[in-house]
Structure 1
Amino acid sequence: MLVTSKNLELKQRLLGECLRIQNVQIQTAKSAMDEAQESANEHQGAGIEDKFESFREACQIQRDMFAKQMDEAITGLAILKRIVATKENKVITLGSVVHTNLQKYFVSASVGEINLNGEKYFAISTMSPIFKAMADKTSGDTFTFRDKQYHIEEVF
Structure 2
Amino acid sequence: MNCKKELVARCLKKTTDRIAEIMHAIEQAQEAIENDTKSSAGDKYEISREMVQQDLNRYQTQLSQARKDKTILEQLPLERKEYVGLGTVIFTSAMAYFVAISIGQILLDQKTYMVISPSSPIGKLLMGKSVGGHIYFNGVSQELLAIS
Q: TM-score, normalised by structure 2?
A: 0.94
Q: Is the 8 A contact 1:139 1:154 kept in 2?
A: yes
Give the alignment's Cα RMSD to 1 decimal: 1.1
Write the mapping of 1:54-73 to structure 2, written as runs, cut at 5 A.
54-73=47-66
Q: Does 1:92 align with 2:84?
A: yes
Distance 2:81 2:13 in 1: 23
User: Aligned-pair distance for 1:33?
Assistant: 1.4
Structure 1 residues 48-57 or 64-73, which shifts more?
48-57
State the 4+ residue runs in structure 1 displaced beyond 4 angstroms.
none
Q: Tell me the equivalent position of 1:27.
A: 20
Aligned equivalent of 2:134: 142
For the residue of structure 2 that corresponds to 1:99, the secondary structure is: strand
What SS does structure 2 have at the residue aligned with 1:28?
helix
The structural deviation recorded for 1:47 is: 3.0
Q: Does the 8 Å contact 2:96/2:113 carry over to 1?
A: yes
Give distance in 2, aligned partners of 1:80 and 1:130.
Answer: 19
Selected match of 1:78 from 52, 71, 81: 71
Q: Deviations over 1:111-153 (max 9, x none)?
A: 1110011110011001101011111011111111122111001
| Aligned residue-pair number | 147
Q: Deviations over 1:23-75 (max 9, x none)?
A: 1111111111111111111114x332332221111111111111111111111
Distance in 1 of aligned mates of 2:124 and 2:118: 7
Percent identity, aligned pairs only, is: 27
The whole-number CA distance in structure 1 between the counterparts of 2:28 and 2:10 is 27
Instruction: Tell me if structure 2 keeps the 8 A contact 1:40–1:55.
Output: no
Counterpart amino acid of 1:107? V
Matched letter for residue 24 of structure 1: D
Q: Deviations over 1:5-25 (max 9, x none)?
A: xxx000100011011111111
Answer whether contact 2:77 2:86 (CA < 8 A) is retained: no
> Separation in 2 of the partners of 1:47 and 1:14?
51
